[in-house]
């Protein structure tokens, strides 16, 4: 079995793929902003930096993408690591001064956000973590992606047009750490910002309630073969229909 030395302690790798996974398992706190256990690592925020001392190229490395290999020696909280994290979080504060998750992390890292920071018109709450892009890819829609380089870099639908491929699954809302992505219902449409997406909601055939984005239901059926036996019904009406059917089967004539 392989071992990694982390903060002077030798710990077994035991199936962990990255140093971040080991640190979490061992209760060692490493700040992260672009990592999600259900999505492939991307190494965007760099806040999870650790210092490699031996067993791989020495220097700073993002622990979420650093493979846990036998003989690796890392430190998670050296002065160099702390200094670099502070620089990174300050840059994120400048980019997204209103993102609570950034402000909270800055405080935790000993960086105090300026008391009267006024958000410039071009600031955003997007920290370019890419979680929404990876979530959208993993669902299979890839309605959004990164565009441009350097300071112009942003996440958006292809060619900056409304996200026509959006399924309305709202996985991007679930994973976005800053609240930059918002979906709202208008009539029978579900609208997503900043993607400018719009999808139709299905109406329950029984109670008339709007309950699921139509393209999502179709996508799940096509891609995963989900058998939506009662796809015309909302979950509540489906549950009631199933209960009624069950009662009829187990207690025939009970309702008559």
Distance CA(193)–CA(94), nearest Å, equals: 22
- Pick between residue 130 and residue 213 the one whose CB is nearest to ligand SF4: 130
- Pick between residue 178 and residue 197 the one whose CB is nearest to ligand SF4: 178
CB burial of 149-186 (b: ≥16 within 10 Å; e: otherwise) equals eeeeeebbbeeeeebebbbbbbbbeebbbbebbebeee
> Which of ligand SF4, ligand FES, none does 126 bind, CB closer than 5 to 8 A by kind?
ligand SF4
Binding residue count for ligand SF4, defined by CB under 6 A: 13
Binding residue (CB under 6 A) for ligand FES from 45, 72, 204, 233: 45
Q: Does 178 bind ligand SF4 (CB under 6 A)?
A: yes
Binding residue (CB under 6 A) for ligand SF4 from 52, 66, 132, 204: 132
CB of 132 to ligand SF4, least distance (A): 3
Q: Does 92 bind ligand SF4 (CB under 6 A)?
A: no
Q: Does 136 bind ligand FES (CB under 6 A)?
A: no
CB of 49 to ligand FES, least distance (A): 8
- Structure token digits, residue 243: 């209960």
Q: Does 64 bind ligand FES (CB under 6 A)?
A: yes
CB 232 within 8 A of CB 221: no
CB of 152 to ligand FES, least distance (A): 21
Q: Does 32 bind ligand FES (CB under 6 A)?
A: yes
Q: Are strands 59-62 and 73-75 parallel, antiparallel or unpaired?
A: unpaired
CB of 70 to ligand FES, least distance (A): 22
> Which of ligand FES, ligand SF4, none does 237 bind, CB closer than 5 to 8 A by kind?
none
Q: Does 43 bind ligand FES (CB under 6 A)?
A: yes
Q: Does 181 bind ligand SF4 (CB under 6 A)?
A: yes
Distance CA(60)–CA(76), nearest Å, equals: 10
CB of 44 to ligand FES, least distance (A): 5
Q: Does 32 bind ligand SF4 (CB under 6 A)?
A: no
Binding site for ligand SF4 (CB under 6 A): 126-132, 155, 175-176, 178, 180-181
């Amino acid at each position: 079995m392989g071992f990694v030395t982390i903060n002077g302690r030798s710990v077994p790798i035991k199936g962990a793929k990255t140093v971040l996974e080991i640190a979490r398992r061992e209760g060692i706190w490493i700040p992260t902003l672009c990592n999600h256990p259900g999505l492939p690592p991307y190494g965007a925020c760099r806040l999870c930096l650790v210092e490699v001392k031996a067993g791989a190229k020495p220097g700073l490395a993002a622990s979420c993408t650093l493979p846990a290999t036998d003989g690796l020696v890392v430190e998670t909280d050296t002065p160099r690591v702390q200094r670099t994290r502070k620089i990174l979080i300050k840059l994120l504060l400048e980019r997204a001064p209103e993102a609570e998750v950034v402000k909270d992390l800055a405080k935790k890292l000993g960086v105090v956000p300026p008391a009267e920071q006024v958000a410039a018109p071009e600031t955003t709450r997007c920290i370019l973590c890419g979680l929404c892009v990876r979530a959208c890819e993993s669902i299979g829609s890839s309605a959004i992606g990164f565009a441009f380089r350097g300071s112009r870099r942003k996440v958006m639908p292809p060619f900056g047009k409304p996200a026509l491929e959006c399924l309305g699954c709202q996985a991007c809302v679930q994973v976005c750490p800053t609240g930059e992505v918002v979906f709202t219902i208008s009539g029978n449409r579900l609208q997503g910002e900043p993607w400018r997406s719009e999808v139709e909601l299905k109406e329950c055939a029984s109670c008339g309630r709007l309950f699921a984005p139509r393209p999502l239901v179709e996508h799940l059926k096509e891609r995963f073969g989900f058998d939506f036996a009662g796809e015309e019904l909302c979950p509540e009406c489906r549950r009631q229909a199933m209960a009624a059917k069950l009662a009829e089967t187990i207690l025939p004539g009970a309702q008559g």
